[in-house]
């Protein structure tokens, strides 16, 4: 089958790949819509998880089932399905411990375009179909559905890990598509002052629409000073990191109050360590927590986010600024994500 792959570090292209084989619990799907991710960019052009050869890229999209295993109960050929970027093994001990993302070892629930071929092929394989797929809800357009693969779950995970409480002051560093969904999630969880940090005008406008009460341009001056200025020098209760670099952790520790929480979903593409400022971390005793996590995946979450969409609480289709048509446009979409023109938030390819 035809597929778009990472050929090696800094190198992508079309390949002739093996059509995936369906096991008894699995499904094989053909894509109806596909989206590239900043994570694909980290993987190929930063070598963030090491070298890969002829690994089919992509982990975001919507599919139609073309084959199911003999033990699959709830899906059949012809069903249109939401496909999470992370597809854990739900009967693993890690899933029983509450960290399905790490079923089989750290990050091993992240299978597409990491440990097996991703979704940028004429067909793709979904393990544990009953546990991982969800039916495409009536009336949901393919662009919106594509954002349920990764952008919505990751933004919501960021807000969940930050443990936002009613009235918390929150900074979301990075308002690309992930940070924008984190803004939406923080608003739903009851943030009071909600600051979105970014510079691109379209992202700034959407951050306000999704619930940011204010936005901060990190290019206009020191980010920590800008946050402290807006909070009477006190800082905020929660910081979500959905953009930036290793230095962002230092800034986050400086802008969060004692007892505050810092939640990272940024995929750290390079460098070996980040620093924690000793004094601002309360010389080791400031009760400032830092957590980083991978979106959960799985059917339940897909259905819950679909319900949020159906009830009008979220509108992730608004992230899609560029719609391309035809499987051949996957390459162009990936390079849009790599080059990030100023008016781009997220591209989607409709097959
Ligand atoms: P984008 O590149 O679209 O957005 C990044 C945001 O960070 C932009 O708003 C950008 O601002 C801002 N930014 C860049 N540099 C700085 C800086 N120095 N200080 C403050 N803000 C800065 O990324 P995405 O939204 O697509 O993805 C965000 C991250 O999430 C990526 O690393 C991605 O790989 C990761 N990810 C993680 C997942 C998980 O499960 N944990 C799943 C999916 C993605 P500007 O407006 O100037 O561009
Ligand atoms: Zn992604």
Q: DSSP assignment of 307-333, as one string?
A: HHHHTTS--GGGGEEEEEESGGGHHHH
Cα–ligand 2 centroid distance for 314 (angstroms): 18
Which residue from 93, 73, 107, 87 is spatially nearest to 20, judged by alpha carbons?
A: 87
Cα–ligand 2 centroid distance for 316 (angstroms): 14
Nearest listed ligand to the Cα of residue 269: 1
Average confidence (pLDDT) over 220-235: 98
Where do the H-state alpha helices sit in the chain? 38-45, 93-96, 129-132, 142-147, 151-162, 177-189, 201-209, 223-230, 247-255, 299-310, 330-339
Is residue 39 classed as helix, strand or coil in its secondary structure?
A: helix
Q: Is residue 99 predicted with pLDDT exceeding 90?
A: yes
Cα–ligand 2 centroid distance for 59 (angstroms): 6
Q: Can you say whether the dihedral through the CA atoms of 75, 71, 149, 167 is positive or negative?
A: positive
Ligand 1 atom with the shortest distance to the CA of 267:
32
Which residue from 63, 64, 59 is spatially nearest to 4, judged by alpha carbons?
A: 59
Predicted local distance difference test score (pLDDT) of residue 164 = 98
Pocket (CB within 6 angstroms of ligand 1): 37-39, 42, 150, 154, 173-179, 197-200, 203, 218, 242-245, 248, 265-267, 294-295
Nearest listed ligand to the Cα of residue 83: 2
Question: How confident is the model over 181-220, as pLDDT tens digits?
Answer: 999 999 999 999 999 999 999 999 999 999 999 999 999 9
Q: Is residue 48 predicted with pLDDT exceeding 90?
A: no
Question: How confident is the model over 251-261, as pLDDT tens digits?
Answer: 999 999 999 99
Predicted local distance difference test score (pLDDT) of residue 23 = 98
* Phi, then psi, of 135 in degrees rounded to 5: -70, 140
Ligand 1 atom with the shortest distance to the CA of 204:
46
Q: Is residue 3 predicted with pLDDT exceeding 90?
A: yes
Q: Tell me the residues surrounding ligand 2 (ion) with CB < 5 Å.
A: 37, 39, 150
Predicted local distance difference test score (pLDDT) of residue 269 = 85
Cα–ligand 1 centroid distance for 145 (angstroms): 21
- Identify the residue whose C-alpha is closest to ligand 1 atom 2: 176
| DSSP string of 63-90, one letter each residue | EEEEEE-TT--S--TT-EEEE-S----T
Average confidence (pLDDT) over 134-146: 98
Cα–ligand 1 centroid distance for 290 (angstroms): 18
- Identify the residue whose C-alpha is closest to ligand 1 atom 6: 174
Share of the chain above pLDDT 90, in %: 97
- Identify the residue whose C-alpha is closest to ligand 1 atom 42: 154
- Identify the residue whose C-alpha is closest to ligand 1 atom 17: 244
Q: Is residue 47 predicted with pLDDT exceeding 90?
A: no
Q: Of 102, 151, 178, which is best to mutate to test ligand 1, by the most ligand atoms within 8 angstroms of its C-beta?
A: 178
Cα(119)–Cα(343) distance, integer angstroms: 26
Cα–ligand 2 centroid distance for 280 (angstroms): 33
Ligand 1 atom with the shortest distance to the CA of 41:
34
**266 pLDDT band (50/70/90 cuts)?**
very high
Neighbours of 57 (CB within 10 A): 27
Ligand 1 atom with the shortest distance to the CA of 178:
25
Cα–ligand 2 centroid distance for 214 (angstroms): 26
Q: Is residue 50 predicted with pLDDT exceeding 90?
A: no
Q: Is residue 177 predicted with pLDDT exceeding 90?
A: yes
Cα–ligand 2 centroid distance for 38 (angstroms): 6
Predicted local distance difference test score (pLDDT) of residue 270 = 85
Nearest listed ligand to the Cα of residue 341: 1
**159 pLDDT band (50/70/90 cuts)?**
very high
Q: Is residue 227 predicted with pLDDT exceeding 90?
A: yes
Ligand 1 atom with the shortest distance to the CA of 42:
34
- Residue 32: both structure tokens together: 């109806």
Report yes or no: 262 and 289 within 8 Å, Cβ to Cβ.
yes
């Amino acid at each position: 089958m035809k597929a778009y792959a990472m050929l090696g570090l800094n190198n992508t292209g079309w390949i002739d790949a093996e059509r995936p084989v369906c096991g008894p619990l699995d499904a094989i799907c053909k894509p109806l819509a596909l989206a590239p991710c900043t994570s694909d960019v980290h993987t190929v052009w930063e070598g963030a998880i090491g070298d890969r050869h002829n690994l089919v890229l992509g982990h975001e999209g919507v599919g139609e089932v073309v084959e199911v295993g003999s033990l699959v109960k709830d899906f059949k050929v012809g069903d249109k399905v939401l496909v999470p970027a992370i597809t854990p093994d739900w009967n693993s001990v890690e899933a029983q411990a509450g960290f399905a993302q790490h079923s089989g070892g750290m990050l091993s629930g992240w299978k597409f375009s990491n440990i097996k071929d991703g979704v940028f092929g004429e067909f793709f394989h979904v393990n544990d179909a009953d546990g991982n797929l969800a039916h495409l809800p009536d009336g949901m357009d393919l662009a919106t559905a594509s954002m349920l693969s990764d952008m919505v779950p990751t933004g919501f995970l960021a807000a969940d890990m930050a443990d936002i409480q009613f009235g918390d002051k929150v900074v979301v560093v990075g308002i690309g598509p992930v940070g924008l969904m984190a803004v939406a999630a923080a608003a739903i969880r009851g943030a009071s002052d909600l600051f979105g940090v970014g510079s691109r005008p379209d992202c700034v406008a959407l951050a306000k629409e999704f619930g940011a009460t204010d936005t901060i341009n990190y290019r206009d001056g020191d980010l920590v000073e800008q946050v402290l200025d807006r909070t009477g020098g006190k800082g905020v209760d929660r910081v979500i990191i959905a953009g930036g670099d290793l230095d962002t952790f230092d800034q986050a520790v400086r802008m969060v109050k004692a007892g505050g929480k810092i939640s990272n979903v940024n995929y750290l593409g390079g460098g070996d360590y980040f620093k924690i400022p000793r004094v601002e971390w309360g010389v080791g005793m400031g009760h400032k927590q830092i957590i980083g996590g991978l979106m959960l995946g799985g059917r339940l979450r897909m259905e819950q986010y679909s319900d949020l969409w159906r009830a009008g609480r979220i509108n992730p289709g608004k992230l899609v600024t560029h719609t391309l048509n035809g499987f051949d446009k996957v390459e162009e979409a990936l390079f849009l994500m790599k080059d990030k023109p100023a008016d781009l938030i997220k591209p989607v390819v409709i097959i």
